[in-house]
Amino acid sequence: MKKHIKVVNASNQQDVWNVKGDKKSYLISALITLIPTFVLYYLALPALNIKSQGLWLFVLAILVFYVVILVIYCSIKRTRFSLKPAVLSFGVLLAVFLLVNFFSARLFHAKGYSQILNVQDGEVELIPSVEKSNSIALMDTASAERLGDRKIGSLSGVVSQYNVGEYIQINKNDAPAKVSSLAYDGFFKWMSNKDKGIPGYVIVNPVDMSADYISLESGMKYVPSAYFSKDLHRHIRFKYPTVMFGNLHFEVDEEGKPWYVCSVYDHTIALFGGTKITGAILVDPISGACEKYEAGNVPQWVDVVFPGDLICEQYNDYAQLQHGYFNRLFAQKDCRQVTTMERSDEEGESSYYPDYGYIAKDGDIWIYTGVTSVNGDSSNIGFILANERTSETRFISSAGADEFSSMKSAEGEVQEKGYTASFPSLINVDGTPTYIMVLKDANNLVKMYAAVNVEQYNLVTTATSQDECISKYKSLIHRELDISSEDDSEYTKVNIKVQKIQTVDIDGNTWIYIVDEKKNIYRAKYIDVIEMVLVEEGDTISVMTNGDLFRMK
């Protein structure tokens, strides 16, 4: 009896490892493991696809569960068991997973990664013309959220039960819009409302800064904020158990009918590398009906199949890996990257992510972002425009300031007001690439508009309306073209001893006035003579002047 207990003691590693074991114990432990297997699958929902990393991690987790249950069961029953088969299986599977994951990396497939996104050259004319003002979506997500919350806050029967979900940029009836479905405010609110479903959605017009709540005749029951079988991710997984999908988001068609769309993807390099969108699944959230489409057959009204973050990642691979992986790290010949911004997580750790704006064009939503060198300077060498429905991507060569420099330039025009600029949109004003953006106060309310020349970001206009801002900008660039063609003989170099410096706000633009010791007054737009921030009263400076206006020498 003592000898038998010693053999099955889990602390005796040699016995546990080498003993033949009781087949009945292995079978019962495997049957017991089915319980956590079903529970874990119901919660994690990995695609039953060998290319799914989630499936590999799921199987590894189940092996761990099996070993734990086997040890506990055999210790209680005092029966013989061996860990060798399970541990060996776990080790081999883990080693294969890590090796395949490692050899799927860009280090070994630089050329393959660089060829996933097809990039064609484009012309400035591809940038939407300013004349099509209904295509200029200036409102950022934060402002849309504020408008949407205000709208929902005015509906007493809705605000107590639901939240507003994540906004998505779409093109509805050839005009940009931001839409968001309502979401259940927790499990108990779902229990109270699950029979009638989500009653409506919010649509925000990013051009005229208005928000509307659209009430539905029948509620949406299959949504991401629901639970159990009505959870949308779970509903799609049970319909398509082997399909890898992501980017689940809300859209509406041209008639205003709500849909949920998710992108179907595949790995085209090794087993886990080279993510490529192959299609989309459309779900009617009212009935739960699903339909899967190939990428080329997605309905025209669907706007986001290829998410902007993935397009930017693939463009970076295209622009940095064509000469090999190590060129990206060291020589960096011809290496470029899209505009990035720094974001901090809840723990205060910073990371850099691609940043881009949206353009409504040809019935679709296109993302645009600047392209700069990997050295992280403040200038662009061009832009990319990419269609989020088809992934068509064009590179437009146009040197100038990056988006963040233009935002700072616009903020400088109204620095005394303390407004902050949103990420700009890109428009074509009389053949000139131009940034246009909104200026917001501390409450994220839109107060003004700003237009900034891409090539010369000191050419800025601001106004309280979009039309006025564009009109002033047109006058400015035409005047600048005339001035640039003038002979410099119209300007005279003078030395001025500055007696007084004064800034004045005129029509939303900041002007600087200087008075010399002879009481002569000279003026200029502050942004055009930004070097004046280094000048103090009493200093002597050299400027070029035509008697009224001045500019720095």
The SS3 assignment for 118 reads: coil
Task: Return d(Cα 36, Cα 30) in angstroms, integer.
Answer: 11
User: 23-44 and 53-77 helices cross at what angle (nearest 10)?
Assistant: 140
User: Among 217, 159, 151, which Cα is nearest to 179's?
Assistant: 151
Residues constituting the chain: 553
* Adjacent-strand bridge partners of 273: 269
User: Among 312, 330, 444, 446, which Cα is nearest to 367's?
Assistant: 312
Instruction: Using the Cα atoms of residue 10, residue 13, residue 14 and residue 20 in order, give the sign of their dihedral.
Output: positive
Asked if 285 and 258 count as a contact pair (C-beta separation under 8 A), the reply is yes
Task: Return d(Cα 248, Cα 250) in angstroms, integer.
Answer: 7
Which tokens sit at 336? 């470029």
Residue-by-residue pLDDT tens, the chain, 553 positions: 444 444 444 444 445 555 555 788 889 999 999 999 999 999 999 999 999 999 999 999 999 999 999 999 988 988 887 888 889 999 999 999 999 999 999 999 999 999 999 999 999 888 888 776 556 777 778 888 888 888 888 887 788 889 999 999 999 888 889 999 999 999 999 999 999 999 999 999 887 788 999 999 999 999 999 999 999 999 999 999 999 999 999 999 999 999 999 999 999 999 999 999 999 999 999 999 999 999 999 999 999 999 999 999 999 999 999 999 999 999 888 899 999 887 766 666 767 788 898 888 888 999 999 999 887 667 888 999 999 999 999 999 988 888 998 999 999 999 889 999 999 989 999 888 999 999 999 888 889 999 999 988 889 999 998 888 998 998 888 777 655 545 556 678 888 899 999 888 765 567 888 999 888 888 887 767 877 878 889 999 988 887 778 887 6
Neighbouring residues of 197: CB distance < 8 A, sequence distance ≥ 6 = 218, 219, 220, 221, 223, 285, 286
Q: Amino acid letter at 474?
A: K
Neighbouring residues of 508: CB distance < 8 A, sequence distance ≥ 6 = 413, 414, 448, 461, 462, 463, 464
pTM of the entire predicted model: 0.82
User: Which pLDDT value is given to residue 489?
Assistant: 60
Task: Return d(Cα 552, Cα 494) in angstroms, integer.
Answer: 10
Task: Return d(Cα 303, Cα 358) in angstroms, integer.
Answer: 11
User: Among 425, 314, 414, 428, which Cα is nearest to 359's?
Assistant: 425
The SS3 assignment for 543 reads: strand
Task: Return d(Cα 250, Cα 283) in angstroms, integer.
Answer: 10
User: Which pLDDT value is given to residue 488?
Assistant: 56
User: Among 329, 503, 547, 494, which Cα is nearest to 412's?
Assistant: 503
Asked if 235 and 222 count as a contact pair (C-beta separation under 8 A), the reply is yes
Residue with token string 């998505």: 168
User: Which pLDDT value is given to residue 134?
Assistant: 58
Asked if 383 and 395 count as a contact pair (C-beta separation under 8 A), the reply is yes
Asked if 439 and 424 count as a contact pair (C-beta separation under 8 A), the reply is no
Tally of CB atoms within 10 A around 317:
21
DSSP string for residues in 496-528 = EEEEEEEEEEETTEEEEEEEETT--EEEEEGGG
User: Which pLDDT value is given to residue 363?
Assistant: 87
User: Among 436, 316, 323, which Cα is nearest to 384's?
Assistant: 316
Task: Return d(Cα 84, Cα 91) in angstroms, integer.
Answer: 10
DSSP string for residues in 208-253 = TTEEEEEEEEEEE-SBTT--GGGBHHHHHHHHSTT--EEEEEEEE-
Q: Phi-psi bin for 388: left (phi > 0), alpha (psi -120 to 50), beta?
A: alpha
Tally of CB atoms within 10 A around 193:
18
**Nearest 5°: CA angle at 431, between 429 and 437?**
30
Pseudo-torsion of CA 209, 210, 216, 217, nearest 10°?
-150
The SS3 assignment for 492 reads: strand
Phi, psi of 134 (to 5 degrees): -75, -5
Longest dimension (CA), the chain: 115
Asked if 296 and 279 count as a contact pair (C-beta separation under 8 A), the reply is no
Q: Amino acid letter at 335?
A: C
Task: Return d(Cα 180, Cα 164) in angstroms, integer.
Answer: 7
> Can you list the alpha helix ranges (DSSP code H) found in 352-502?
403-413, 466-485
User: Among 136, 200, 155, which Cα is nearest to 449's?
Assistant: 136
Neighbour-count burial of 353, counting CB atoms closer than 10 A to its CB (0-12 exposed, 13-18 middle, 19+ buried): exposed
User: Which pLDDT value is given to residue 5?
Assistant: 41
